[in-house]
């Protein structure tokens, strides 16, 4: 791609999105409990390790997400880093389906919906929340970690079937 844009003259969102789609990322489902008691969750690529002391992660949630308010207010949330066989779950949680939890195996871990199939699970206590632009930044202190060996689900250029072994 050769397209360039001058930030000073206003950067088109599509140009920015295209550039960032070329950043290889893992994918995670973020879950919490809504005020009414039902689980909610969405797929994110905007997640990273934030600090080691205390062990923390940073997640970025679009203001358009129906989970945003619950996540911004919750005391705890779950991070489920998806494995290479979980493309279906990724699509489910990237959707705006009425009940995303209907076809996935899950349980409550305290107030956090825990998806069984995810190879990496972090239970996080919310330690900071702030808005920037059209997104909300959520920082969570990790209180529980469960890890199983699995190939990761990898996203690149809006495709999420880029297993690390595919080599294309
Ligand atoms: C590959 C991929 C990565 C995404 N990353 C994020 C993200 O980092 N943050 C976010 O808020 N939404 C992200 N989304 C969009 C949400 O998953 C999507 O808008 C979802 O429908 C929101 O669900 P909700 O409205 O039930 O909360 C991503 C979607 C895809 C397909």
Alpha carbon nearest to ligand 1 atom 31, residue: 94
Of all residues in the chain, the percent with pLDDT exceeding 90 is 84
Return the C-alpha torsion angle 101, 103, 105, 107, nearest 10: 30
End-to-end, the C-alpha distance of the chain in Å comes to: 18
Long-range contacts of 123-131 (CB under 8 A, 24+ apart): 123/76, 123/78, 124/56, 124/57, 124/76, 124/77, 124/78, 124/79, 125/75, 125/76, 126/74, 126/75, 126/76, 126/77, 127/54, 127/56, 129/72, 131/63
- Number of the ligand 1 atom closest to the C-alpha atom of 155: 1
CA 43 to ligand 1 centroid distance, Å:
5
pLDDT of 1 higher than 50: no
- Number of the ligand 1 atom closest to the C-alpha atom of 62: 11
- From 30, 62, 156, the mutation candidate for ligand 1 (largest count of ligand atoms within 8 A of CB) is 62
Q: What is the per-residue pLDDT across 26-52, written as a single tens digit (0 to 9) for each?
A: 999 999 999 999 999 999 999 999 999
| Residues 109, 114, 50, 44, CA torsion sign | negative
What are the structural domains of the chain? 26-153 (2.30.110.10)
CA 30 to ligand 1 centroid distance, Å:
10
Query: Which pLDDT band holds residue 112 (cuts at 50, 70, 90)?
Result: very high
CA 52 to ligand 1 centroid distance, Å:
26
Task: Tell me what the pLDDT averaged over the chain comes to.
Answer: 92
- From 27, 44, 89, 133, the mutation candidate for ligand 1 (largest count of ligand atoms within 8 A of CB) is 44
Per-residue pLDDT, averaged over 4-9, amounts to 59
């Amino acid at each position: 791609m050769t397209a360039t844009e001058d930030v000073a003259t206003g950067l088109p969102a599509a140009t920015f999105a295209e550039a960032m789609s070329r950043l290889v990322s893992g994918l995670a489902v973020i879950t919490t409990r809504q005020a009414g008691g039902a689980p909610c969750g969405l797929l994110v690529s905007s997640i990273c390790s934030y600090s080691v002391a205390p062990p923390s992660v940073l997640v970025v949630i679009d203001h358009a997400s129906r989970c945003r308010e619950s996540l911004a207010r919750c005391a705890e949330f779950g991070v489920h880093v998806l494995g290479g066989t979980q493309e279906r779950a990724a699509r489910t949680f990237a959707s705006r389906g009425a009940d995303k939890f209907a076809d996935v195996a899950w349980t409550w871990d305290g107030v956090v919906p825990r998806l069984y199939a995810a190879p990496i699970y972090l239970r996080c206590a919310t330690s900071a929340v702030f808005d920037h632009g059209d997104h909300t930044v959520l920082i969570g202190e990790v209180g529980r970690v469960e890890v199983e060996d699995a190939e990761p689900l990898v996203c690149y250029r809006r495709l999420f079937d880029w297993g690390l072994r595919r080599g294309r």
